[in-house]
Structure 1
Amino acid sequence: MHLALVLALMTLPSVSLESGTQLQYEGRFVAEKGDPAITEKDFTLTCLVDHASDQGAVVYWTLMEQGRGKWSWLGQFGKLEVNHKWQVNPAQLPTLFYQRPSGTSIVPVMLPMFVTDQALSKDATWIQDRLDYKVTGDTRVAGQKGWNIDIRNAYGHQRTLVIDKESPVVLASTSTIFIGQGEEHELTLELVERTQISQPQLVVARRGFDALLRLRGQLGHEPRTRDFRWNPARLTILRKELPAAVDQVVSEPLLAIAQSARQDAKRQKNRSGAINAVRKQLIGQAAPHPQITEMDGKIFDWKKTNGKVTVLHFWDYRDRPLEEPYGQVAYIDFLYRNRKDQNVTVLGVAVNELLENQATHSRGVQSAKKLRSFMNLSYPVLIDGGEAIRAFGDPRVTGAKLPVVVVIDAAGKVVHYHVGLYKFDRDRGLAELDDTVKQAMKTGS
């Protein structure tokens, strides 16, 4: 869920920031209700100002998260372009990846700058964009003097800011945020360190940011992407370009991100090798027939698939948490509807921790039923306690994620094993899978 969390920035500040200004903030995002130990996310935001002029500036940023999920290294850094009023495109803002009990939310974090043409003094009030502003006093944050500003809308308190008296820097902020089904949360930021790095240091830092940004562009990663698919082409780019990119990173806060990138590249290499080994063992072999049940508890009879091209779609099949693209089940269903009269069958296979635990098994079955009803799936969904996914090769042991798709031809041999999401074709849906099924229809008959 995307949320608008952007300050109203009005006019050019009387005191601008110099290139090389580096600001480090500690942040917290927590639910208003419930145990903070369960709902709290902590994070560190670092901003580096570059190319500052009367026309605007560039702000490089990093965001490191702890608790309630986090972005991969690809989503932990970025670049903002601000105009002469310090206004920014909201799509460029850093974001938190926040896991709720019933799903995830993407929470943008404000650019910690505030500019107004209002003369700030105690008890000063004004209205801007239907918001009421009031200076309630002054205070100190990180050794710097600032004005306390209370911001309200028609429904009550919205945000509290502490603004540096000598610059547009936000020293601290507290904002009320609603996510999910209107669940109230509080987002806080507080400046912990402000430094001025030298021009040579700025050049080095800029070089590191630009190198990682360039690599991210080569990989085709879009900001705020939840499910990034590491296909063979991207893995080749990563192995080829990563060493040169991380060599440009010589200082914090990018060093930690560069280290994460190296570790991820190693994991992806090992994971790809392990998955390829499973694929090599399966392809061309007779498909196993592990015990698996239908939703009513009956043992599934594999003879129902005899003489048919069979597509097995292993996925969570849970109604909560439910996040797009839902394991691509809508496209799997589209394929089934198009091919079911051509001797092709599709079997969804529910695989998750609820089903693997006897104490929660029935709850997992009910969850799968709700998901199938919610998505209006026409193909049957089977229940796996873990035996079936292990028989075909469970990629989760390598750190990979479901879904897994297995295609079995009419002769009963495995012809396709795919881990993760397919590339989506606007005209043909899951074109790669459909082409595989068509080929199996020809060769396995």
Structure 2
Amino acid sequence: MSQFQNLSSRKMKLKLILSLVLISVGSPLDAAELLTYSGQMVGEKGDPAATTKRFTLAAVRDGRNEGGILHWIVVEDGRGAIPWPHSYGSSQWMDGNGINVQAATASRNNPQLLYKNEELKAYVAVTLPQLADGGKLNQESIWKQGPVTYRVTERQSVEGQQTWRVLGFTNFGVKRTFWVNDEGYIVRLRENVTIGRGDRFDLEYDLKNVEKLDEDTRGKVVTAFDVFNKFRTKVDIEKLEKEIVWDDQQLEAFREDIDRLVSVSADTPLSAVARLAQTDLKAQKGRSGGVATLMTRAIGKVVEEPGFELYRGSDYSEDAFTGNVTVLHFWEYRSSPLEQPYGQVGYLDFLYRKYKDEGVKVVGVVSNTLLEDPAERSRVRVNARKFASFMNLGFPIVADVKGYIGKIGDPRGAGAKLPLFIVLDQKGRIVHYKAGYYEVDRDLGLKSLDSVVKELLEAASE
């Protein structure tokens, strides 16, 4: 063999070695896996059939040398569901800094469930199925995170996999138990959850399937999650909300991006989220069109003899609907579940106290379907009074016992939700109709409503 041939052979070997080094250092471990979990949440009391909520958790585990990223989605079945922009996320885990379990409440770094019944709506954190440094567990492993101490108790086989059984406990007893395989991800979890006023539930999930992803599929998943995560940032929906009320600017961005969200999510776990997004956008279009029609019909109507029944306060008379600027706030006024932003009554009370000496009246109108049943009205009254007292509201509370909201234009009939804000001018005519929440100004509160009231006062003084 010539010197040139020897040199070429050495170069080829060197290139091969370098390429292997680059693969091992700079690229994902071979690597990406789709983990699919089946889970449920069941009340400790009551009929399991009535309290059970089921869910599916899918997580693409994209491992790297010093940790990796979990791209996850959660799909819920029964007892409510979180808004779709909160049903997905990307969470990083870092190896080398000690064993760590991510199970934060109300955090976008964790999958979340929404549990809903007649008394409450509560977020429930789902433990991220990947442990930082999870592959380093051994019989002696013990660590503490916040109030929870974790300890490896024994080696067990789960569905054919060798795992470490980990017990997490607080001063009050066992919080969660999970089984972790040698690759550092959870294959089974059992957890005690308390929500609302001490209601206890058993939350569990089990690994049902592991699918290796080729590099092309992994690339599609990474791109899809990147697009979806950027969309959420673009429309400024970073904070977890139990209900999202899209404003006009957000809806415009939603319409612009929906086709991109659908196309990029094809053949990835996010396709399920994209379908929810499409359904939501169609509903938003229907609501906005229906509400716009109701608003057009309402403007100019005179509110007279609505037959409201006084529940709380003394500064109320239907005769005052003329001669004053009046804001009617139709909402349920329930004392439970207590959920922010509480129908925006805090901001409304601020506006009332600001303008009450200038001839502005604010009336909270209880609009609850239970009012249709005379036997339930006493319970509605108690709830409304309790809520108004809790919020220390200065304006009176009445009940729409005759369903007058239907004559004005009930937005619920168009698929929208309360609250409904109605502004009457000094002649008792409807001059402003707003279904849903206002954007909040840092200094003025409900700035748009404030502007309407201020303009009416200024026009009367001219």
- TM-score by length of structure 2 reads 0.85
Residue 395 of structure 1, CA deviation = 0.8
1:94 aligned partner: 111
Using the TM superposition, name which of 434-443 and 262-271 deviates more. Answer: 434-443
Task: Check whether the contact 2:303–2:321 (CA below 8 A) recurs between aligned residues.
Answer: no
Task: Check whether the contact 1:351–1:386 (CA below 8 A) recurs between aligned residues.
Answer: no
Pairs within 5 Å for 1:146-295? 146-164=163-181, 166-287=182-303, 289-295=305-311
2:335 aligned partner: 319
Please state which structure has a larger fraction of its residues in helix. Answer: 2
Aligned pair partner of 2:143 in 128, 132, 150 = 128
Task: Check whether the contact 2:306–2:402 (CA below 8 A) recurs between aligned residues.
Answer: no
When residues 153 and 348 of structure 1 are mapped into structure 2, their CA distance, relative to the original with a 3 A threshold, is closer
Give the Cα separation in 1 of the matches to 2:66 and 2:402.
Answer: 60
Task: Check whether the contact 2:67–2:94 (CA below 8 A) recurs between aligned residues.
Answer: yes
1:34 aligned partner: 46
Per-residue CA deviations over 1:209-242 (Å, capped at 9, x if unaligned) read 2222222222211242223221111111111221
Residue 343 of structure 1, CA deviation = 0.7
> What secondary structure is seen at the aligned counterpart in 2 of 1:412?
coil
Residue 199 of structure 1, CA deviation = 0.6
Identical amino acids, percent of aligned pairs: 34
Give the Cα separation in 1 of the matches to 2:429 and 2:185.
Answer: 64
Give the Cα separation in 1 of the matches to 2:53 and 2:103.
Answer: 25
Give the Cα separation in 1 of the matches to 2:242 and 2:369.
Answer: 21
Task: Check whether the contact 1:132–1:153 (CA below 8 A) recurs between aligned residues.
Answer: no
Residue 311 of structure 1, CA deviation = 0.2
Residue 125 of structure 1, CA deviation = 5.0
Aligned pair partner of 2:380 in 364, 372, 393 = 364
Task: Check whether the contact 2:366–2:397 (CA below 8 A) recurs between aligned residues.
Answer: yes
Pairs within 5 Å for 1:69-80? 69-80=80-91
Give the Cα separation in 1 of the matches to 2:150 and 2:192.
Answer: 15
1:392 aligned partner: 408
> What secondary structure is seen at the aligned counterpart in 1 of 2:113?
strand
1:12 aligned partner: none
2:156 maps to 1:138: yes
2:67 maps to 1:56: yes
2:76 aligned partner: 65
Using the TM superposition, name which of 283-292 and 381-390 deviates more. Answer: 283-292
Residue 266 of structure 1, CA deviation = 0.9
C-alpha RMSD of matched pairs (Å): 2.4
Which residue identity is paired with 1:411? Answer: K
Using the TM superposition, name which of 33-42 and 191-200 deviates more. Answer: 33-42
Give the Cα separation in 2 of the matches to 1:154 and 1:372.
Answer: 37
Q: Which 5+ residue runs of structure 2 have no aligned equivalent?
A: 1-27
Residue 119 of structure 1, CA deviation = 5.7
Residue 150 of structure 1, CA deviation = 3.1
Q: Which has the larger radius of gyration?
A: 2
Give the Cα separation in 2 of the matches to 1:275 and 1:117.
Answer: 55
Per-residue CA deviations over 1:54-107 (Å, capped at 9, x if unaligned) read 232121110011121111221111111222257569431111111244322211
Give the Cα separation in 1 of the matches to 2:234 and 2:355.
Answer: 36
Which residue identity is paired with 1:65? Answer: E
Task: Check whether the contact 2:164–2:180 (CA below 8 A) recurs between aligned residues.
Answer: yes
2:322 maps to 1:306: yes
When residues 233 and 116 of structure 1 are mapped into structure 2, their CA distance, relative to the original with a 3 A threshold, is closer
Task: Check whether the contact 2:352–2:362 (CA below 8 A) recurs between aligned residues.
Answer: yes
- TM-score by length of structure 1 reads 0.89
Which residue identity is paired with 1:428? Answer: L
Task: Check whether the contact 2:176–2:190 (CA below 8 A) recurs between aligned residues.
Answer: yes
> What secondary structure is seen at the aligned counterpart in 1 of 2:267?
coil
Residue 17 of structure 1, CA deviation = 6.6
Which residue identity is paired with 1:138? Answer: Q
